[in-house]
Amino acid sequence: AQKITQTQPGMFVQEKEAVTLDCTYDTSDPSYGLFWYKQPSSGEMIFLIYQGSYDQQNATEGRYSLNFQKARKSANLVISASQLGDSAMYFCAMSRNQAGTALIFGKGTTLSVSS
Amino acid sequence: DSGVTQTPKHLITATGQRVTLRCSPRSGDLSVYWYQQSLDQGLQFLIQYYNGEERAKGNILERFSAQQFPDLHSELNLSSLELGDSALYFCASSVRGQGDGYTFGSGTRLTVV
């Protein structure tokens, strides 16, 4: 069975610093997708970044990058130059195959950014 | 606006009652997924519909049911509600589920009193 583990319940970072949110996954499928979502206090789920299991390069989207280490089964999210607006809950998720299946979520990490 | 519309945003109802949550997917998306987010269970997949047909089931209770209509909107029906059903219910849609294809609605916050 697939599983996502986020071991950091909470992380604290100062504005303008970089922060890494950890995510490890377990799957026996050769093809899968990895996602990160942000959930601010208002509740909506905001897509941040995606990595396919066959992608050779780590995904990047603006200040977000995904550090994909396939052999270690990790997909850590790196946020560079943190901003106050980055304070939120962050979820790592995985899909079986790379198309059209439900997401399995980790328990999330709460990020707090201070000035 | 993500393009996925969920109504209502908030719902307060009594135990034993039945409610219907509605979701309109992003234009062109054929798949609709329902998720439940609660404090103790986290984010859990409930059920998926693809072009009107049930595609996959997750941890959905027998008291819950869903359907997807010809216009692709979906409804999640929750009956015989219990206090523990209080949660944030999300709908997500996708074309193929690849890349940024999973788009979430803003959720319906259900409170059972």
CB contact under 8 A, A100 and B94: yes
Cα separation, B13 vs A31, in Å, equals 42
Q: What is the pLDDT along chain B (113 residues), one digit of tens a residue?
A: 779 999 999 999 999 999 999 999 999 888 999 999 998 889 999 999 999 999 999 989 999 999 999 999 999 999 999 999 999 999 999 876 555 568 999 999 999 99
Residues of B in contact with A95 (CB under 8 A): 97, 102
Residues of A in contact with B90 (CB under 8 A): 45
Q: Which two tokens stand for residue B61?
A: 């209770």
In angstroms, the separation between the Cα of residue A23 and the nearest Cα of chain B is 16
CB contact under 8 A, A104 and B45: yes
Residues of B in contact with A98 (CB under 8 A): 97-98
Cα separation, B6 vs B31, in Å, equals 15
**A104: buried, middle or exposed (CB in 10 Å: 19+, 13-18, 0-12)?**
buried
